[in-house]
Amino acid sequence: MNRPLYSIRMQASRNGHHLSGAERLSTAIELEPLAADMVQRALGHMRGRAETIQISIEEVAEGQIDYVALPDLRTYLVDNYGQGRQAAAGLLCQAGVSPLAIDTAMAAMASGAAPDGRSMRGAMLIDAVSGRRLEPDQARGVRVSRMDLTEQARQELALGLQSLGLDNAHVREALVLAGKVLTTPGIVAELCWSDDPDYTAGYVASAHQGYVRFPHLKPLGEERGGRAFFLAAGQHKLPELINYLQYRPLLFDRIGQLNRPQPWVVQS
Ligand code: PML
Ligand code: MG
């Protein structure tokens, strides 16, 4: 990639509520088309046209960029969101998250994790054992930004996802975001399901399992969704952790294994 790189971020809202967001790292020449795409996305969102769109662009210092590999991707086919959530809970448990913390996250995401019962703009931070919520602002949550793919990794990922019928913005962007979350010191796992009513998929991500998707983690038509990052118990260095998620620039220059979907086998 040519230098310098810029962080470009979009945040759109309607009626004072979060609608859509996007974040990329880009060269100067790509900034204008990217900004135009982001505006289009905010104006054409299926949950309504954005009333407020904020785009911010900041140069990223070259020496700060880390280069890493994306996690492996796996899809387990489940019959419905009930089975999906059970399967997701099983994987989170294996990653060291307690049943209490899993329940806290799923209950909050299902009922709207923000105080007004809507989805949060960013992620919840949850102690992986006590289930205590730790994000300083429970309306906003913590947003992850300043991460992207190198051009070559972007092309490889698009080709690989195409061959699985999965090359859409939800998958590409969530995989990159989860990839950064998994490099964050102090985070043991992530749970996410979409807040877009027509998109029922979600995933669990952890260092050992990689990015594990389920086509159903919520009912069709449901707008409540979001993200929970589970923090290693009792080792909360919140300012450092939040600073890393928001500001540490990360470029993925290698993709992981992209596995064919397989049926979820119910564990007895
Ligand atoms: C979102 O875009 O709202 C989150 C999507 C999470 C699942 C993406 C996938 O299908 O892997
Ligand atoms: Mg969304």
pLDDT digits (tens, 9 = 90+) for 182-213: 999 999 999 999 999 999 999 999 999 999 99
- Cβ neighbours of residue 215 under 8 Å, at least 6 residues apart? 75, 77, 78, 84, 200, 201
Q: What is the pLDDT of residue 47?
A: 84
Instruction: Report the separation in Å between the CA atom of 118 and the middle of ligand 1, taken as the mean of its atom positions.
Output: 18
Asked if pLDDT for residue 106 goes beyond 80, the answer is yes
pLDDT digits (tens, 9 = 90+) for 7-46: 999 999 998 888 999 999 999 999 999 999 999 999 998 8
Pocket test for ligand 1, best of 199, 223, 258 (most atoms within 8 A of CB): 199
Q: What is the pLDDT of residue 2?
A: 67
Report DSSP letters for 195-237, one per residue: -STT---EEEEETTTEEEEES-SS-TT----EEEEEEPTT---
Instruction: Report the separation in Å between the CA atom of 9 and the middle of ligand 2, taken as the mean of its atom positions.
Output: 15
Instruction: Report the separation in Å between the CA atom of 20 and the middle of ligand 2, taken as the mean of its atom positions.
Output: 6
Instruction: Report the separation in Å between the CA atom of 267 and the middle of ligand 2, taken as the mean of its atom positions.
Output: 31
Q: 256 with 70: CB under 8 angstroms?
A: yes
Residue nearest to atom 10 of ligand 1 (CA): 171
Q: Of residues 225 and 2, which shows the higher confidence score?
A: 225
Proximal ligand: closest to the CA of 19: 2
Protein residues within 5 Å, CB atom, of ion ligand 2: 195-196
Residues 113-136, mean pLDDT to the nearest whole number: 95
pLDDT band at 1 (very low <50, low <70, confident <90, very high): low
